[in-house]
Structures are given as C-alpha cells and as structure tokens.
Amino acid sequence: MPDRDTKGAVRNITDLARLAGVSPGTVSRALAGKSLVNAKTREKIEAIAREHGFRPNQMASGLRRQKTGVIGVVIPLGHDTRQQISDSFFMTLLGFLADELTREGYDLMLRRVVPETDPDWLDRFIGSGMIDGVIVIGQSDQFDRIEDIADGYGPMVVWGNHTEGQLHCVVGTDNRLGGRQAAERLIAAGAKQLAFLGDTTAIEFAARFAGANDVVRRMGLPSMIELPTHLSPERAGEEIADHLVAHGDDIDGIFAATDTLAALALTALRERGVAVPGDIRLVGFDDLPIARQTVPPLTTVRQDIAAGARGLVDLLLRRLAGDKTESLVLPPELVIRETA
C-alpha cells in the first residue's frame, strides 16, 4: 500500500521534484509521458511517484490545460418521468457509454435533471467548466432548448429522434421505420384494428406511432386507437388494465412503445383471459432482455444499443476535434418471436 505517512509525504509535483532533485517542470513532463525527458530521470521520478502513491491532481491539470478529460452525460427526466424511472433502456445505454468513454480515456460525469424545475439544466452543465463535452440521453420534451444550445456550443451529441433540418447532432434509431415494421408485422399476423400503447408526447414515441400510422393508412385500415400511459411500471400497469376494459374487445393488435409496456400488457391480457397472439397480436420496441423471457416471448423491434453508444462517443470525439458531424440514424430490426 502506498506510503501515506512517510515524513516526506508527496502532496504535489513540487514535493516530488524536491525528492527527485529536479524541477517541477521535469516531473510534469515525465509523468505526462512527454518525450524529451532523460530515460533515467523519468525512471527515477516514476519510481518515487509509485512509492508514494502519487498522482497529479487532475483539477489543476485541467484548469491549466483548459480541458478536463470528463464528458458529461445528462438524462432529462420528462414531465411524467419523476424520480428514478429512466427505464432500462437508458440505463443500458448508460452502461455502454461508460465502457466506450473509458476506452477513449474519458471520465463520465452523470447528471439527472428535471427540466421543469430547472429550465437552465443544459447551460448549467456546460457552463460548469467541469466537462469537455456533453451527451444528452433522450430529448424528453426539451427539443427546443437543446436546439438553442446547439446553436452556440459544438461538443454535444444527443440520443434521440432525428427530425428533418434540426440543428443538434443526434444519434438514434429510425423510429418511424421501426413503427412501420411493427405495424406491418401485426397486420401480417392478422390484425385489422391496431392500437398504440404509450405516451405520444415523447417525440421518439410519436415517431413510432407515426410510422405505424403510415402503414395503417396505406392498407386502408381503420385508424389506430391511442392508449396513452405513463412510463413507470406501477402507474402504467393500472392504466393498461383500464385501457383494456375500455377497448379490449375492439382491437386485435397492439404496438407497444417499449418492451416494458409490452410485458405489462401481456400480463394484463393474460389476466383478462385474452389469448396472445390468438385474439390480440402484440409487438414491442427495444428488444431488452425481458423480451426473451415473457410468455410467450415478445416479438419486438430491436434497437442496437451498443452501436448507439459507439456512435454517440465517436461523433462527440470528432466534434471535440473540431469536425462538423452529421447525425447518425440507425436501422431498427424486427425480431419475430411469438406474440405476433
């Protein structure tokens, strides 16, 4: 264990310089792995550093170099989405992001914000001086605010939905296409009256809904029934049950905005004795692990989360380097299991 209490405790680069009999500048160069340092000197410095468990203070270094080596990751919690909800999808994405950023030598500073109570959430984060760039996970209902910022701040990439002509650089699945795939599958499986389960004020969900609608209209089927829900499992569970009471007999296909909602719907349908896919066909979105484990396993539209994380980090790094980058739209993939 590092020698914390030798009388010559090493608190900074200057202490270390004294012990090594060189100047602070040399220590800085040696520890930063710069060229132009005598091999023996460097070795000696590294030895002393190791012996005392010394690491240069990143705050000081950051201040001086005007870069921190930290990327901010912020999750805006929308209107409904109080507290910890930020569902499994975002959490999984966060995990991948952590891995990618680590690989690139960056640290990750995480913030969850409630835009309603803190309209300044994005400026505040960016202006803190603590981060070199920012990744926003989910546009929530903050599209406009994000656009505002994008106008004057380069190193930002957002996970979310791509809209024609938008300013901010976004990475995300083609939600509209995914919606089409879902509706096509439901119809191919025999559904005639579709319903959309989820809150369409979220822009990603609205796009999924719109995609499904494209197909419904093209096929000349009756327009979809909207079944709005919150995202938190507790509330959504009840809401779904209510929806089924109201519309359960009118519909024969459900497109759920997420797998979580689909799983909940499956449970509610089973409780009502509705056969899936016999009476009602069901398609989810995301392809989270839970999709394989429902009974029957869920047909769903897959988002490639790992590719998304890689894209976010990749684009952000290029922006950090000064590039102007385009948005990245990933293709969704229909995964056919047994609910449709």
Partner DNA sequence: GTGAAAGCGCTAACAC
Partner DNA sequence: GTGTTAGCGCTTTCAC
Residues that bind a copy of itself (CB under 8 A): 1-2, 4-5, 53-60, 62-63, 68, 70, 73, 83-84, 86, 88, 91-92, 94-96, 98-99, 102, 107-113, 123-124, 127-130, 148-149, 151-152, 233, 260, 263-264, 266-267, 270, 289-290, 292-295, 306
Query: Tokens for 220?
Result: 């000349």
- Is 25 an interacting residue with respect to DNA (CB under 7 A)? yes
Partner from a copy of itself, DNA, none contacting 14, C-beta within 5 to 8 A by type: DNA
Q: Where are the alpha helices (DSSP H) in 189-220?
A: 203-218
- Is 191 an interacting residue with respect to DNA (CB under 7 A)? no
- Is 26 an interacting residue with respect to DNA (CB under 7 A)? yes
Partner from a copy of itself, DNA, none contacting 38, C-beta within 5 to 8 A by type: DNA
Nearer of residues 6 and 201 to DNA, judged by Cβ: 6
Q: Find out whether 172 and 308 touch, Cβ atoms under 8 Å.
A: yes
Residue 110: what are its φ and ψ, rounded to 5°?
-100, 135
Give the length of the chain.
340
- Per CB under 7 A, contacts with DNA among 92-131 are 129
Piece of the chain touching DNA by CB under 7 A; list 11-19, 234-242, 243-251, 277-285: 11-19
With both helix axes pointing from N to C terminus, report the angle between 39-52 and 24-31 in degrees, rounded to the nearest 10.
90
Query: Tokens for 211?
Result: 């995609």
Nearer of residues 56 and 248 to DNA, judged by Cβ: 56
Q: Would you call 159 exposed, middle or buried from its count of C-beta atoms within 10 A (0-12, 13-18, 19+)?
A: buried
- Is 4 an interacting residue with respect to DNA (CB under 7 A)? no
Partner from a copy of itself, DNA, none contacting 107, C-beta within 5 to 8 A by type: a copy of itself
Smallest gap from Cβ 312 to a copy of itself, in A, equals 14
Three-state DSSP class for residue 227: strand
Amino acid at 251: I
Nearest to 99 by CA among 71, 77, 123: 71
Nearest to 105 by CA among 138, 137, 66, 58: 58
DSSP secondary structure string, 71-112?
A: EEEEEE--SS--TT---HHHHHHHHHHHHHHHHTT-EEEEEE
Three-state DSSP class for residue 33: coil
Piece of the chain touching DNA by CB under 7 A; list 28-36, 97-105, 172-180, 203-211: 28-36
Nearer of residues 35 and 117 to DNA, judged by Cβ: 35
Q: How many CA atoms lie within 13 A of 236 on its CB side?
A: 26
Task: Find the binder of DNA among 18, 41, 210, 304 (CB under 7 A).
Answer: 41
Task: Find the binder of DNA among 64, 117, 151, 275 (CB under 7 A).
Answer: 64
Task: Find the binder of DNA among 43, 47, 65, 234 (CB under 7 A).
Answer: 65
- Please tell me what DSSP assigns to residue 129: S
- Is 36 an interacting residue with respect to DNA (CB under 7 A)? yes
Contacting residues toward DNA, per CB under 7 A: 11-14, 17, 21-26, 28-29, 31-32, 35-38, 40-42, 56-57, 60-61, 63-66, 129
